[in-house]
Structure 1
């Protein structure tokens, strides 16, 4: 695996390491090196050497640096001698760059290969909102959710790469970690409520990662799309449900989901919260039982790198809390 060293002026490297973990999960073979007031360049170089030494299993090292020409960049450059075939440096560190670096390590084995790939992705993460602030030639954002039938494909049905219950719908963990892992061509939010909310629809369209279409459709429309054998061959769909009740309706209607990823269910009045990210009322528990009776499996993870939690244990804990009221 390619090791990654993040280095910056101040605590930026440590902070972006934490941000990356929130979105993509905890990562192995990643080190953060900070250049703080009072540190000398030689101190920084020693810290960089220690960071590399802390990853002995990494065959290749990618340095992600905040600023071209700054002290972190200069000290990394002095360490490069003799390692040009195994090491590479990219400056302008930002969060899209880091997330893409994590994802790229799953398929790329050389730091130089990842470094070249990162340039476009990190630049693509710089966007303006409202979109009319951008010069016309750069304004590639779609102001509204694109039609699901736009750019239809070959004969055939959708391939479903992920179906997720997440009260936050399309947010950072989905737009980066899950999208990089599952490689959908379309992200489809399946919700009657969101389909009637113009503001939320537009925000979802804006949140779509580069190269992936985002759509919002009512549940009945998703059922029809799932039955379409003429237009969606080769299309990889990532489905997002705001509630388990929406997922149940879709599955009962014929959307062929065998496994539901359960990522987030927000707490509200009347719900119990058996862990940090999932909250249930009795209706939710009954709905999950109906889903299980239909043969649906549950994959309880926020991000792909997390170890799956035991859904049966979570539901039993939630039921016990409700029964004790």
Structure 2
């Protein structure tokens, strides 16, 4: 796997690494290098050399730096002199660039390939609101829509239960992992809330259209075989009850990713991110009877949780409350 060095002035490197791992999960072969006010170029170089020595593969190294021409860039460039056929530097570090680099390491094995691939994502992440402040060409890119109207049905690349719906982990990590053309929030409640609908549509990553539809509408769309050929749908549900209604109505899901279920009064919480009421457990049991499997992960590179064991612990805690 390509090693990544994040090098910046001050503690920016450590902070953005923490943010990136919060969204995408813990990363191996990634090191933050900081240039502090009391330090000089030699200190940065020594930190970079130590970081490179810790990598499993020292032949492929990607430097993500804050400023072109700054001290972190200059020291990385000096180290790279003897490795220009393998190593690469990308300046202008932002969070979208970092997350894209994390995701791309799973499919590309060279620093040069990753450096080229992450440039567009880094540039697309720079936007302005209100949209009319954007230059005309950028506004046109933002407004571009995916093609529709081809014969066929949706391909479901992910169906996820997440009480937060469309947020950073979904808009970045899961979108990069599954490559949807559309993100569809399926909820009767959210479909009635114009503010939440607008916020969800605005949170969609570049190039992906976001929709909010009630459950019956999703059932209708799932049966349409005339307009959605080539469309890759990522479905988001707030709770298992809405998933059950959709499945019973004919939405052809095989696996449901269980990512986050918020705690509230009367629920038990057998792990850090999932809280269950008795009704929730009953809904999951019915989903299992319908043949669905459960993929318990917050982000793609998390290890999968054992849903049967989680449900068993939740049921035991609920029984003790009675």
Q: Same fold (TM over 0.5)?
A: yes
Partner of 2:81, secondary structure, is coil
Q: Residue 154 in 1 paired to residue 150 in 2?
A: yes
Q: Which residue is equivalent to 1:131?
A: 131
Deviation at 1:153, TM superposition (A): 3.7
Q: Residue 195 in 1 paired to residue 160 in 2?
A: no
Greater mean deviation of Cα atoms: 300-309 or 106-115:
106-115
Deviation at 1:115, TM superposition (A): 1.3
Q: Which residue is equivalent to 1:49?
A: 49
Structure 2: runs of 5 or more not aligned: none
Q: Does the C-alpha gap of structure 1 residues 71 and 238 become closer, same or farther in structure 2, counting only changes over 3 Å?
A: same
Deviations 1:251-301 (A, max 9, x none): 000001111000000111221111111111111111111111111111100
Q: Does the C-alpha gap of structure 1 residues 42 and 172 become closer, same or farther in structure 2, counting only changes over 3 Å?
A: same
Q: Which residue is equivalent to 1:224?
A: 220
What TM-score do you get using the length of structure 1 for normalisation?
A: 0.94
Structure 2 counterparts to residues 1-325 of structure 1, below 5 A: 1-135=1-135, 137-139=137-139, 141=142, 151-325=147-321
Greater mean deviation of Cα atoms: 88-97 or 26-35:
26-35
Q: Quick one: distance in 2 between partners of 1:201 and 1:17?
A: 31
Cα contact 1:262–1:298 (8 A) shared by 2: yes
Q: Quick one: distance in 2 between partners of 1:51 and 1:121?
A: 26
After TM superposition, where is structure 1 displaced by more than 3 Å over at least 4 residues in a row?
129-142
Deviation at 1:66, TM superposition (A): 0.9
Partner of 1:81, secondary structure, is helix
What TM-score do you get using the length of structure 2 for normalisation?
A: 0.95
Higher percent of residues as helix: 2
Q: Does the C-alpha gap of structure 1 residues 268 and 129 become closer, same or farther in structure 2, counting only changes over 3 Å?
A: farther
Coordinate RMSD, CA, aligned: 1.6
Structure 1: runs of 5 or more not aligned: none
Q: Does the C-alpha gap of structure 1 residues 311 and 58 become closer, same or farther in structure 2, counting only changes over 3 Å?
A: farther
Deviation at 1:136, TM superposition (A): 5.3
Q: Quick one: distance in 2 between partners of 1:312 and 1:54?
A: 38
Deviation at 1:135, TM superposition (A): 4.9
Deviation at 1:137, TM superposition (A): 5.0
Q: Quick one: distance in 2 between partners of 1:189 and 1:298?
A: 19
Deviation at 1:133, TM superposition (A): 4.5
Cα contact 1:29–1:58 (8 A) shared by 2: no
